[in-house]
Amino acid sequence: MKMWSGRFRQPPDSDFERWQRSFDFDRRLLTHELAASSAHARALANAGILSSSELISILQGLERIAEQAAVSPAFLEDSEAEDVHHFVEKNLVHLIGDTGYKLHSGRSRNEQIATDLRLYVRVCIDQLRAELAECLDALVEGAQRAGNAAMPAYTHLQRAEPVLMSHWLLAYVEMFIRDADRLVDCRKRLNFCPLGSGAVAGTTLPLDRRAMAIDLGFDAPTLNSIDATGDRDFVLEFVNALSMVGLHLSRWAEEMILFSSQEFDFVRLPEAYSTGSSAMPQKKNPDLLELTRGKAARIIGAATALAVTLKGLPLAYNKDLQETQEPLFDAAETVLALIPLVTNWMKAVEFNLDRMREAAQSGFMNAWAAATYLVQRGVPFRLAHEQVGKAVQLCLEKSCELQDLSVQELRQLNPLFDEDFYSCLDLTSVLALHDVPGGTAPGQVQRAVADAKRRIEFIREEAHAHA
Ligand code: ARG
pTM summary value: 0.96
**Per-residue model confidence (pLDDT) at position 464:** 76
Q: What percent of the chain has pLDDT over 70?
A: 100
- Active-site annotation holder among 156, 278, 399, 406: 156
Q: Which atom of ligand 1 is nearest to the CA of 85?
A: 5
Based on the residue annotation, tell me whether 72 is a catalytic residue of this protein: no
**Per-residue model confidence (pLDDT) at position 230:** 98
Whole-number Å distance, alpha carbon 203 to ligand 1 midpoint, is: 17
Q: Is the pLDDT of residue 438 over 80?
A: yes
**Per-residue model confidence (pLDDT) at position 382:** 97
**Per-residue model confidence (pLDDT) at position 467:** 67
* Residue of the CA atom closest to atom 11 of ligand 1: 319
* Residue of the CA atom closest to atom 2 of ligand 1: 322
Report residue 74's pLDDT band, with 50, 70 and 90 as the boundaries. very high
Q: Which atom of ligand 1 is nearest to the CA of 22?
A: 1
- Greater confidence (416 vs 463) lies with 416
Nearest CA to 128 out of 187, 88, 46, 169 is that of 187
Q: Which domains are delineated in the chain?
A: 5-105 (1.10.275.10), 119-204+223-359 (1.20.200.10), 367-425 (1.10.40.30)
Q: Is the pLDDT of residue 466 over 80?
A: no
Q: Lowest mean pLDDT: which of 140-154, 270-284, 298-312?
A: 270-284
Q: Lowest mean pLDDT: which of 4-8, 186-190, 337-341?
A: 4-8
- Active-site annotation holder among 277, 362, 423, 464: 277
Whole-number Å distance, alpha carbon 410 to ligand 1 midpoint, is: 77
* Residue of the CA atom closest to atom 4 of ligand 1: 322
Q: Which of 322, 323, 329 to mutate to test the pocket of ligand 1 (most atoms within 8 A of CB)?
A: 322
- Greater confidence (376 vs 467) lies with 376
**Per-residue model confidence (pLDDT) at position 267:** 97
* Residue of the CA atom closest to atom 12 of ligand 1: 322
* Residue of the CA atom closest to atom 10 of ligand 1: 110
Instruction: Report the chain's terminal Cα–Cα distance, integer Å.
Output: 37
Which DSSP string do the residues of 202-268 spell out, in sequence order? --SS---HHHHHHHTT-SEE-S-HHHHHH--HHHHHHHHHHHHHHHHHHHHHHHHHHHHSTTT--EE
Whole-number Å distance, alpha carbon 104 to ligand 1 midpoint, is: 14
Based on the residue annotation, tell me whether 156 is a catalytic residue of this protein: yes
pLDDT in tens, 350-360: 999 999 999 99
**Per-residue model confidence (pLDDT) at position 53:** 98
Report residue 92's pLDDT band, with 50, 70 and 90 as the boundaries. very high
The mean predicted confidence, pLDDT, of the chain is 96
**Per-residue model confidence (pLDDT) at position 257:** 98
Which residues' Cβ are closer than 6 Å to ligand 1?
Answer: 22, 26, 83, 109-110, 113, 317, 319, 321-322, 325
pLDDT in tens, 413-437: 999 999 999 999 999 999 999 999 9
Q: Which atom of ligand 1 is nearest to the CA of 199?
A: 10
Q: Which of 86, 113, 306 to mutate to test the pocket of ligand 1 (most atoms within 8 A of CB)?
A: 113
Whole-number Å distance, alpha carbon 89 to ligand 1 midpoint, is: 14
Q: Is the pLDDT of residue 155 over 90?
A: yes
pLDDT in tens, 228-281: 999 999 999 999 999 999 999 999 999 999 999 999 999 999 999 988 888 888
pLDDT in tens, 359-376: 999 999 999 999 999 999
Contacts 24+ apart (CB under 8 A), 44-47: 44/102, 44/103, 44/105, 44/106, 44/205, 44/207, 46/207, 46/208, 46/211, 47/106, 47/205, 47/206, 47/207, 47/208
Q: Which atom of ligand 1 is nearest to the CA of 84?
A: 1
Whole-number Å distance, alpha carbon 176 to ligand 1 midpoint, is: 35
Cα 221 to Cα 224: distance, rounded to the nearest angstrom = 9
Interior/surface letters 330-344, b for 16+ CB within 10 angstroms, e for the rest: bbbebbeebbeebbb
Cα 355 to Cα 343: distance, rounded to the nearest angstrom = 24
Q: Is the pLDDT of residue 4 over 90?
A: no
Whole-number Å distance, alpha carbon 110 to ligand 1 midpoint, is: 6
Cα 281 to Cα 283: distance, rounded to the nearest angstrom = 6
